[in-house]
Homo-oligomer: A and B are copies of this chain.
Amino acid sequence: MKTKKIINAGEDAVDEMLDGILLAHGDTLRASASSHRAIIARDGPRDGKVGLVIGGGSGHEPTFVGFVGKGLADAAAIGNVFASPPPDPALACAQEVSGGAGVLFMYGNYAGDVMNFDMAAEMAAMEDIEVRTVLTTDDIASAPPDAAETRRGVAGNFFIFKAAGAACDEMMSLDEVERVARHANARTYTMGVALSPCSLPQTRTPNFDIGPDEMEIGMGIHGEPGIARGPLMTADEITDDMMDRILSEMEASAGDRVAVLVNSLGSTPLMELYIMNRRVQARLADAGLTTHATWVGNYCTSLEMAGASVTVMRLDDELTRLIDRPCHCAMFRIV
């Protein structure tokens, strides 16, 4: 039996979604004339401003397309569901947002994305657009600390993109923006847990099997297997497990400030996220840390997967300023 979805033909889902997005948010977003999978902020390009291009597979909405707008990303290259975009949309993004000061590509660290965006970067270079790349690697479940650079990028994208986008908006140079982006990535830690699968529109088949009373700690946002499978625990136990891992890696000192994101993978409702947040904040307080700001909701999803992630970014003055800087995106705003 196929899973239930409100879609038309499965293979049209991504393009029809983009049509619906542009119809809803035409005041802030447009498609590039050279690639309808390149979604560009109406605000821009700005002379002398570094252009920030983000992107990746569909199915994670509001990541990536929802984070395009003034003060955050200038464009997003959109792939098929859970598939990197090909080079063309990424190239179109680079062309559209280039303000003469270089372009930064930022996306999660996945083999496919790296190959496609690298090809696009080479093509952009041939047009004299300088492109740098910073991969996000916030998923601490996906590799041990000594191989941190091989980790996946997941919900922490939100903070890392935000910091880099604000740096661009502050008119920092490409060197500076790259430095900020790497710094933000290095200070961002995410742990997730999955309870039930999602399914691709084309197959409408659950993308993994999991027992009716099981959960998987560390599952990736495309259903990639995680680090441990076990019986479903309580919210406090799950959150404690996540926070133990995050706090032990984060090496924060009492008095440090952090930003927090409690994120639904899709079908886990706000009620559960806020119950988790209660424990997250208790654990942070116990560790002597101060929460500067908290976001709770659907920020980086895996279609209708059930589960949640917690991201903590360890702030310094610069990151605090950048995270606080106003932005105006179709699906996210800071005022």
Q: Is the CB of B4 within 8 A of A306?
A: yes
Cβ contacts A93-104/B at 8 Å (1 or 0 each): 000000000000
- With CB as the reference atom, state the residue of chain B lying closest to A266: B269
**Chain A window 260-294, contacts with chain B (Cβ cutoff 8 Å), 1 for yes, 0 for no:** 10100011111111111110010000000001001
Cβ–Cβ contact B61 & A23, under 8 A: no
Docked-complex contact B238 and A274, CB < 8 angstroms: no
B271 & A303 in contact (Cβ 8 Å cutoff) = yes
A14-22, A40-48, A217-225, A317-325 - interface stretch: A14-22
Asked whether B6 lies within 8 Å of A303 as measured between CB atoms, the reply is no
Question: Which chain B residue lies CB-closest to A260?
Answer: B24
Q: Is A58 close to B, CB under 8 A? A: yes
Contact present for A58 and B271 (CB under 8 Å): yes
Distance of A277 Cα from B18 Cα, bound (Å): 10
> Cα distance A13–B272 when bound, in Å?
8
Q: What are the interface flags for A58-92 relative to B under an 8 Å C-beta threshold, 1 for contact and 0 otherwise?
A: 11011000100000000000000100000000000
Chain A 5-45 interface residues, beta-carbon cutoff 8 Å to B? 5-8, 13-14, 16-21, 23-25
Interface residue A209 (Cβ < 8 Å from any Cβ of B): no
| Chain B, Cβ-Cβ closest to A326 | B335
Q: How far is the CA of A276 from the CA of B23 in the complex (A)?
A: 11
Q: Are A213 and B1 in contact (CB under 8 A)?
A: yes
Q: How far is the CA of A333 from the CA of B23 in the complex (A)?
A: 20
Name A7's contact: one of B8, B18, B235, B328 (CB within 8 Å): B235
User: Among the listed B4, B21, B195, B262, which residue makes an inter-chain contact with A196, where contact means beta carbons less than 8 Å apart?
Assistant: B4
Nearest CB of chain B from residue A319's CB, rounded to whole Å: 19
> Interface of A with B (CB < 8 Å)?
1-2, 4-8, 13-14, 16-21, 23-25, 58-59, 61-62, 66, 81, 193, 195-196, 201, 212-213, 215, 232, 234-236, 238, 260, 262, 266-278, 281, 291, 294-298, 301, 303-304, 306, 308, 328, 331, 333, 335
